Every structure is written in structure tokens, then in C-alpha cells.
């Protein structure tokens, strides 16, 4: 069984954040597409930034004054699950 990616969430300033690196832009954008579809289903969306193979994610609930809520924890869990399907480089 091949090893897969594992991500770490950091909780800081009322936000959950994670910095992810991929093999290349195609892998990063493929990941973002999967996350986008899941976020749309959950009606909860990440603030994020992509520079080539790097994706930085920030989660907070805007409707609750930009605080971390269960919606952010649920989305973080869904994102971790998607990330774990990507092979290590
Ligand atoms: N995403 C996040 N991260 N926070 C929200 O408060 C939020 C959201 N609210 N996605 C949703 C959409 C809301 O704006 C819509 C109108 O349901």
C-alpha cells in the first residue's frame, strides 16, 4: 500500500489554517476542484490561495463574525479526507 498525504490544521486567531504542497500545479488544482465540489455540497467555503503547487487554506465562518464553528471543523475533516487520497511525491 502506498503512503498518502497527511495534513495538519493549525488553530490561530479564530481560524483553522493549513499549508499544502503538491507535486505540481495540476495536482494542486485537481485537489482544489474536489474540495470546491465538496464545499458547495456543504454550503461552506474555504478562503484559499494557490501559487503553483502550494495551496494555503483558511477556514472560519463569516456569518458568525469570522469565528471557528462546527461547519469549519466539518469542512476541515472533508478536506483532510480528500488530501489523503493524493499520493506522496
Ligand atoms: N462559507 C464560510 N466559510 N462561511 C460562511 O459563513 C459561509 C460560507 N456562509 N459559505 C454561506 C456560504 C452563506 O454565505 C450562504 C449565503 O449560505
Q: Which of 16, 43, 60 has most ligand 1 atoms within 8 Å of its beta carbon, as the pocket-test mutant?
A: 43
pLDDT in tens, 52-82: 999 999 999 999 999 999 999 999 999 999 9
CA–CA gap between residue 29 and residue 73 (Å, rounded):
22
Q: 30 alpha carbon to ligand 1 midpoint, in Å?
A: 23
Compute CA distances 5 → 58, 61, 67, 78, whole Å: 19, 26, 27, 14
The pLDDT-based confidence of 7 (bands split at 50, 70, 90) is: confident
Residue 83 · residue 77 · CB < 8 Å: no
Ligand 1 atom showing the smallest separation from residue 75 Cα: 3
pLDDT in tens, 12-68: 999 999 999 999 999 999 999 999 999 999 999 999 999 999 999 999 999 999 999
Amino acid at each position: 500500500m502506498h503512503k498518502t498525504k497527511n495534513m495538519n490544521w493549525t488553530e490561530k486567531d479564530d481560524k483553522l489554517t493549513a499549508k499544502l504542497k503538491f507535486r505540481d500545479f495540476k495536482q494542486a488544482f485537481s485537489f482544489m476542484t474536489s474540495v470546491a465540489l465538496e464545499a458547495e455540497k456543504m454550503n461552506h467555503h474555504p478562503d484559499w490561495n494557490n501559487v503553483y503547487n502550494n495551496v494555503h487554506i483558511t477556514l472560519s465562518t463569516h456569518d458568525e463574525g469570522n469565528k471557528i464553528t462546527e461547519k469549519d471543523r466539518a469542512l476541515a475533516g472533508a478536506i483532510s479526507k480528500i488530501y489523503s487520497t493524493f499520493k506522496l511525491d
